[in-house]
Amino acid sequence: MNLAHIHLLLNHWPIIGAFVGLFLFLVAFLANSDDLKQASLAFFTLIALLTIPTYFSGDVANEVLRESSTQLPKELVNTHQGAALLSLVFMELTGGLALIGLWQFSRMSRPAPVPVARWNFTLVLILSIVTAGMMTATGNTGGAIRHPEILSAEDAASAVGAIGSKIVPSVSHFVTASSRWVWPVLETLHFLGLILIVAAIGGLNLRLLGFVKDLPVAPLHRLLPWGIAGLVINIITGILFFVGMPFFYAWNPLFHLKMAGVVVAGATLVLFNCTSAFRSWATLGPGEDPPAVAKFIAASSLILWLVIIVLGRYLPLTQESLRAGP
């Protein structure tokens, strides 16, 4: 087994997930079921997290295929990459907004059942439709790479495909070559996003662990969207780093670990802090302690974010040793 298998293992989930999520989302609102609404929003965010390693493992799959003896349709690969990048970005935006919608269910300041804000519903709906469309293109082109027998001649040379094949090269050019300041500015944004995550998510977790016990939990929990914003900023800037220098990240084991950490820490945030599961802990007033399970989750989340920071800082080191060779 090599890293390309990870791509094969993951790559159907975001595509099918985008459609299943959209279907669930519509049914939930037609049936006006709060449980189903939460389920569909949580589903979107979890799929958005899974889409991250799916995209990143695609680069490895591409290299593995290039080194094999099979002839690769290069234009098609480029189009697939372009469609995948657009799908990824739209999936992350959908996931971020869905997470804020989901968070509204865990808020104590509104009476249950909590209505999802109308703007959130509309935005998630529009973005998820766009994402599903992009995912279709990604799936089509990706499938055609390995199954040329289903490809007709005009598909390969379509105008959309020609535009699609330019997406990744032009984003990469923008990040690394258009100006020497783009990369440093993105790095700065990545650090400011980190601070938002530490402030909002770290602050809440520290309180659950009993560090600033004279604060009530509910209002700290209200600051969570700032942490979600930080997470989305860091995912988007992180994607741009990867597109700019894929060779720097794609084979780096510390990067793989960091991404696994982001998926788990993100899922922890989704499932424990943003669903109605949090309501029983959100009622804690000053001086009150949450149950042990809440402390365990808070401690795990805190440690995971610290590990993610450390792994991120070590990436350049492993890059040096990778370049030096074994």
Residues near other proteins (CB under 8 A) are 109, 180, 183-184, 187-188, 191-192, 194-196, 198-200, 202-203, 206, 211-212, 214-216, 218-220, 222-223, 226, 286, 306, 309-310, 312-314, 316-317
User: What is the smallest separation between the CB atom of 174 and other proteins, expressed in angstroms?
Assistant: 17
Our CB check for other proteins shows the closer of 202 and 290 to be 202
- Of 248 and 314, which has the nearer Cβ to other proteins? 314
Helix runs in the chain, H state only:
3-10, 12-31, 34-67, 74-106, 118-146, 153-156, 159-176, 182-197, 203-209, 217-221, 224-244, 246-249, 253-268, 279-282, 292-324
| Least distance (Å) between residue 173 CB and other proteins | 18
**Tally of CA atoms within 13 A in the half-sphere of 305 that contains its CB:** 26
Report, in Å, the least distance between residue 212 CB and other proteins.
Answer: 5
Q: Could you tell me the smallest distance in angstroms from the CB atom of residue 197 to other proteins?
A: 8
State the nearest-atom distance from the C-beta of 234 to other proteins, in Å. Answer: 12
Residue 47 or 217 with smaller CB distance to other proteins = 217
Residue for token pair 């595509």:
15
How far apart CA 37 and CA 30 sit, in angstroms, is 10
Residue of 272, 269, 221 whose CA lies nearest to 110: 221
Closer to other proteins at the Cβ: 19 or 314?
314
> Which CB atom, from 20 or from 315, has the smaller least distance to other proteins?
315
Phi-psi region of 275 (alpha: psi -120 to 50; beta: other; left: phi over 0): beta
Task: Identify the helix (H) or strand (E) that includes residue 251.
Answer: none
